[in-house]
Structure 1
Amino acid sequence: MIVDRQALLRQRLASAGLAAAAKTGGIPVRGNPETACLSFSQQHAWRYQQAYPDSVSNNLGLLITFTGRVDEHAIAEAVDRIVERHEILRTTYHLGADGIPFQRIRKSMHVPRSFEHASAERATELAKAALQIPFDLETDAPLKLLFFRTGPEEVMLALIVNHIIWDGATFALLSKELEKAYEAGAAVSSKPAIQYADVAEWQRNHQTGTGSADMDYWKQRLGASRPAKTLPVESGNKAAHPEAAGRVDYRLTASLELTRLASRHRVTPFIAFMACWAKVLGRNGAEEVTIGTTVLTRDQPETEQLIGNFANHIVLRLPVGKAQRAEALIPATAMEFDAGFAHRNLPYESMIEALGGQDVAEPPALFDSLVVFIPSGTEGPRLPGATTRWQRLHNEAVQFPLVPLGLEIFVRGRGAETVIDVEATYARNAFDHATVAELLSRLDGTIHDAIHEAW
């Protein structure tokens, strides 16, 4: 979902009588400043990396271009000051003697960086190559910096991070931190009173007593009678590595229609998109489908400005029978999401265990496509005397470990200028490029039909 609309959603939940986590604060500082347990989000990423040590599925790459008078060495020094402020950026991950993983917070940590002159094309090639190097979570810093001077007034920065420190809000937060640190020079601002490791410890203790209602909801919603997966996965190369991925970049021709459809039903574009995607998945005759999505659990005031991974998966179960029309499916999608969001704090791994268990090295048992809306308006760091643009780098691996199809949705512009871009990352052992492109074309047509009430 779009991150900056979570406050509005909480109001909707309250008016509907659904419990949402209150922003009460009160997270204590942990007792041991050097170590802490893993948060649920960290544990999910750590377990997968343990299963696939050479995996780059959790590697995220951003290529940020600064045009103007910028100093790449000053940017690197600003990042060092951010690392000093945020413990999560100088944390390593280990398996304890008791078999339980933990995080170790370092007093300091060197962030690898390189500086060179290169053309923009060569810089992109080198950045993509760096993205193919897995992180060793026991020894490596969780981020890397590659600077390329591509012209007298142009610098490209490849920021490579591991998902264990990153969620959908992190880039915007890191951008603001970098702006302040770059302008402040050598001055170091105060550290957050509560750090990510404090939240991890609090989360573990807090979850023990509050997860039963969430658990009951998901057991009831996704029990033994849940619908079968519906994606046509027979077109892939079965010999391909389970992480090997391709990507289809697709701009919706029905971008404006989607925003109008959402406005007509007084829902967000995310809800309208999910309803239309569910309709596409149901075209093989299914009566119901399940779709995964990622939400944030930044419910406490202390978490709002923290760098770190607060992501969790929830699952939407939607009716898509032939008789189901937009007038019913879109409101049903909104209700389903609101209810799921109200129970978002149950860790996805706990949900899986309660519903029969699953090995971390297997594709998700509850869904075969996952849809994520990327926050609109994330411009990247705005440095004095420079303009900024950025792009995601494809790491040739499935974006969400072993999910056959991940759709990341970027909404850009406003009003009549709105465009919606879809980055569809697909597992090569499940799909080929043409099949995914056809699914997105059907989605485009479904949105167009919906605005004209043809389904």
Structure 2
Amino acid sequence: PRLVAYVVADRTGAAPEPAALRAHTAAALPDHMVPASFVALDALPRTVNGKLDTAALPAPDPAAAIASGGRLPRTGREELLCAAFAAVLGVERVGPDDDFFALGGHSLIAMRLAARIRAALGEEVSLRTVFDAPTPARLAARLGTATALARPALHAGRPLPERLPLSSAQRRLWLLHQVEGPNPAYTVPSAWRLTGALDRTALEAALNDVIARHAPLRTVFPAVDGEPYQHVLDPARARLELASADGADLAAEAARPFDLARDLPLRAVLSRTGPDEHVLLLLLHHIATDEWSDRPLLADLSTAYAARAQDRAPDWTPLPAGYADYTLWQRDLLAQAGPALLAHWTGVLDGLPAELNLPADRPRPAESSGRGG
């Protein structure tokens, strides 16, 4: 989903250019509320009752936003940025003067663009910079005036310390675990309907193949003198048993929390719902997964099951790096940039209230339930 603004010019002339409208809205609104596209109309469509007919509003045309006959990139930096724009926007090509937002970009895609630029050029790009310089050419000029970030190299397969530190994301969830205790609010459930003949033994073997391949799924988080560390279990010790449950018991299983110091952060429960019909419930603690991880996890599970059903081990493509490699890379990065970042955000947040006094439709509970709504 993305925000689209429909603009009707007043009687004095034509509607402003999208770039001018975007600059105006970006100055007045938070980033997530700035429209991704602006569509000029002679008049807003109305229903027979005089209300706005949203179904009749035309969808923006991303292809129309690509500059026809545009120039080629003049520098290697522009060429890299054009390729990054095209990749995150899902279009075939982007010219140096094509506008990121006119092509359908929004703040979430801008975050992905910033990550690609960071990987390709080693330079940090804020969302505000993308809003202020939304074409490859303007962004290249803006980056050309900045000092490139000296980033440590990521060394895959480097020797691991005896006590592997936690990544920043892991430490946040570990701290919440210490404050709140085991909490099912941080369990990420997914249920999958399986139809056809099922080889339970092959499925359990495939789950253990995936755990062996991805170290975060066999990591526990003990602590010594209050300082946690990652303890990555040997695959031979991190064996998962595929549990069975009736349909009514699946919700209870999902509500059972994890103990991060002892439990594998993955449980799997299989429920038989009919002849050749099953539901596979996967429960992962958020310390080991996120939404982006769902697709590769299920792809690996499917590959492993197909192999185990034929009595063979899966033929994996080796992973270029492991999560432990990333953790040590992040530690090295924060050793360089951490003090400056901490000083910056301490200054930004100085004097702000500890709690926002927002209007609410019900009394604020003393303790969060985690249920939402």
- For residues 152 and 4 of structure 1, the distance between their equivalents in structure 2, rounded to whole angstroms, comes to 44
Q: Which runs of 5+ in 2 are unaligned?
A: 1-105, 118-128, 131-135
- Aligned equivalent of 2:331: 204
- Whichever residue aligns with residue 369 of structure 2, its letter is A
- For residues 259 and 355 of structure 2, the distance between their equivalents in structure 1, rounded to whole angstroms, comes to 37
Residues 45 and 21 of structure 1: is their aligned pair in 2 closer, same or farther, counting only changes over 3 Å? farther
Instruction: String of CA shifts for 1:361-414, please: whole Å, max 9, x gaps.
Output: xxxxxxxxxxxxxxxxxxxxxxxxxxxxxxxxxxxxxxxxxxxxxxxxxxxxxx
Residues 37 and 227 of structure 1: is their aligned pair in 2 closer, same or farther, counting only changes over 3 Å? closer
Contact 2:154–2:329 (8 Å) recurs in 1 = no
Residue 93 of structure 1, CA deviation? 0.6
Residues 209 and 49 of structure 1: is their aligned pair in 2 closer, same or farther, counting only changes over 3 Å? same
Residue 154 of structure 1, CA deviation? 2.2
- For residues 110 and 190 of structure 2, the distance between their equivalents in structure 1, rounded to whole angstroms, comes to 24
Are 1:149 and 2:272 matched, yes or no? yes
Contact 1:3–1:169 (8 Å) recurs in 2 = no
Are 1:187 and 2:187 matched, yes or no? no
Residues 227 and 141 of structure 1: is their aligned pair in 2 closer, same or farther, counting only changes over 3 Å? closer
- Aligned equivalent of 2:124: none
Are 1:244 and 2:369 matched, yes or no? yes
1:336-347 alignment runs, 5 A limit: none
- Aligned equivalent of 2:213: 85
- Whichever residue aligns with residue 196 of structure 1, its letter is Y
* 1:111 partner SS: coil
- Aligned equivalent of 1:235: 362
Larger radius of gyration: 2
Instruction: String of CA shifts for 1:69-117, please: whole Å, max 9, x gaps.
Output: 44344222211101111111111111124x321111111202242135x
- Residue of 164, 167, 174 corresponding to 1:39: 167
- For residues 22 and 64 of structure 1, the distance between their equivalents in structure 2, rounded to whole angstroms, comes to 44
* 2:345 partner SS: helix
Instruction: String of CA shifts for 1:179-201, please: whole Å, max 9, x gaps.
Output: 22122223143653522122112
Contact 1:112–1:141 (8 Å) recurs in 2 = no
- For residues 313 and 297 of structure 2, the distance between their equivalents in structure 1, rounded to whole angstroms, comes to 17
Residues 222 and 167 of structure 1: is their aligned pair in 2 closer, same or farther, counting only changes over 3 Å? same
- Aligned equivalent of 2:239: 110
- For residues 104 and 40 of structure 1, the distance between their equivalents in structure 2, rounded to whole angstroms, comes to 16
- Aligned equivalent of 1:333: none
Residue 232 of structure 1, CA deviation? 2.5
Residues 67 and 3 of structure 1: is their aligned pair in 2 closer, same or farther, counting only changes over 3 Å? farther
- Aligned equivalent of 2:204: 76
- For residues 223 and 306 of structure 2, the distance between their equivalents in structure 1, rounded to whole angstroms, comes to 39
- For residues 198 and 108 of structure 2, the distance between their equivalents in structure 1, rounded to whole angstroms, comes to 30
- Aligned equivalent of 2:282: 159
Residues 51 and 75 of structure 1: is their aligned pair in 2 closer, same or farther, counting only changes over 3 Å? same
The more displaced of 49-58 and 165-174 is: 49-58
Residues 58 and 228 of structure 1: is their aligned pair in 2 closer, same or farther, counting only changes over 3 Å? closer
Normalising to structure 2: TM-score of the pair? Answer: 0.55
Contact 1:34–1:106 (8 Å) recurs in 2 = no
* 1:126 partner SS: helix
Are 1:218 and 2:345 matched, yes or no? yes
- Whichever residue aligns with residue 138 of structure 1, its letter is A
Contact 2:242–2:269 (8 Å) recurs in 1 = yes
- For residues 29 and 144 of structure 1, the distance between their equivalents in structure 2, rounded to whole angstroms, comes to 28
Residues 111 and 217 of structure 1: is their aligned pair in 2 closer, same or farther, counting only changes over 3 Å? same
* 2:164 partner SS: strand
- Residue of 105, 130, 135 corresponding to 2:253: 130
Residue 234 of structure 1, CA deviation? 6.2
Residue 147 of structure 1, CA deviation? 0.5
Contact 1:3–1:168 (8 Å) recurs in 2 = no
- Aligned equivalent of 1:171: 294
- For residues 221 and 201 of structure 1, the distance between their equivalents in structure 2, rounded to whole angstroms, comes to 28
- The number of equivalent residue pairs is 239
Residues 226 and 202 of structure 1: is their aligned pair in 2 closer, same or farther, counting only changes over 3 Å? same
Contact 1:28–1:202 (8 Å) recurs in 2 = no
Residues 43 and 225 of structure 1: is their aligned pair in 2 closer, same or farther, counting only changes over 3 Å? closer
Contact 1:37–1:102 (8 Å) recurs in 2 = yes
* 2:280 partner SS: strand
- Whichever residue aligns with residue 53 of structure 1, its letter is G
Residues 214 and 174 of structure 1: is their aligned pair in 2 closer, same or farther, counting only changes over 3 Å? same
Residues 238 and 210 of structure 1: is their aligned pair in 2 closer, same or farther, counting only changes over 3 Å? closer
- For residues 254 and 107 of structure 2, the distance between their equivalents in structure 1, rounded to whole angstroms, comes to 26
- For residues 358 and 241 of structure 2, the distance between their equivalents in structure 1, rounded to whole angstroms, comes to 41
Contact 1:148–1:156 (8 Å) recurs in 2 = yes
Residue 227 of structure 1, CA deviation? 10
- Whichever residue aligns with residue 103 of structure 1, its letter is Q
- For residues 335 and 273 of structure 2, the distance between their equivalents in structure 1, rounded to whole angstroms, comes to 52
- For residues 191 and 213 of structure 1, the distance between their equivalents in structure 2, rounded to whole angstroms, comes to 37
- Aligned equivalent of 1:319: none
Normalising to structure 1: TM-score of the pair? Answer: 0.46
- For residues 7 and 55 of structure 1, the distance between their equivalents in structure 2, rounded to whole angstroms, comes to 31
- For residues 161 and 339 of structure 2, the distance between their equivalents in structure 1, rounded to whole angstroms, comes to 30
- Whichever residue aligns with residue 78 of structure 1, its letter is A
Residues 169 and 146 of structure 1: is their aligned pair in 2 closer, same or farther, counting only changes over 3 Å? same
- Aligned equivalent of 1:382: none
- For residues 352 and 172 of structure 2, the distance between their equivalents in structure 1, rounded to whole angstroms, comes to 26
- For residues 155 and 349 of structure 2, the distance between their equivalents in structure 1, rounded to whole angstroms, comes to 32
RMSD: 3.3
- For residues 149 and 112 of structure 2, the distance between their equivalents in structure 1, rounded to whole angstroms, comes to 11
